[in-house]
Amino acid sequence: MGIAQVHSNAQLGTTFKILLPRTLDGAPELPPFVDGTLPPGDGYSVLLAEDEDVVLSMGVEILEGLGYTVLAADSPAAALRLAGEHDGHIDLLITDVIMPGMNGRELAERMQALRPAIKVLYISGYPADFISDRAVLSDGVHFLQKPFSLRSLALQVHAALEDPGHVLAAPAKEIV
């Protein structure tokens, strides 16, 4: 699609050249979101549970900028309270894995009682294998490691929302 060149010299400084085609006619069609666009959040509602203020405010800003309706909670208890009080739907819980008082998996399990169809995206500063080795998360969950970029957050949120099999399983009911 184009070429970016960078030339740097300690005495002269840095020069950037970006060469783009005059037209996109004949350009190959890219799969969705590979071309640099980000999936929109139109119509989706997200509950973000994060105990780090900077990550919480950044996450809210990014998600709202993408068009999501965002409920922000600085603790698992606040997330459960918001989910119980909110009249509208909540499509996705984005939760830090390690938080004081309750981990992200426990929060997701409790959230299931309030919102059975909610989907979950886990975020953590710890690598996924570290967390799964300690049985905090099982394999196959949607996971994003901090720090994350705007693009990686947008794509992971989209993937979690669009995954038809990614709803917390309801507890088995005993047949009498």
Length in residues, the chain = 176
In this prediction, residue 38 carries a pLDDT of: 86
Q: Is 26 exposed, middle or buried (0-12, 13-18, 19+ CB in 10 A)?
A: exposed
Cα–Cα nearest to 157, from 40, 25, 79, 13: 40
Rounded to an integer, what distance in angstroms lies between the CA atom of residue 34 and that of residue 18?
19
Pairing of strands 69-73, 45-49: parallel
Domain range annotation of the chain: 45-162
Assigned superfamily of 45-162 = Response regulator (3.40.50.2300)
CA atoms within 13 A of residue 165's CA, in its CB half-sphere: 2
Count of beta carbons in the 10 Å neighbourhood of residue 84: 11
In this prediction, residue 175 carries a pLDDT of: 37
Placement of tokens 């949120």 in the chain: 157
Mean pLDDT, each 10-residue run in order, the chain (176 residues): 66 70 53 69 94 93 94 98 96 94 93 93 83 65 88 92 66 36
Measured CA angle at 80 (ends 175, 86), to 5 deg: 100
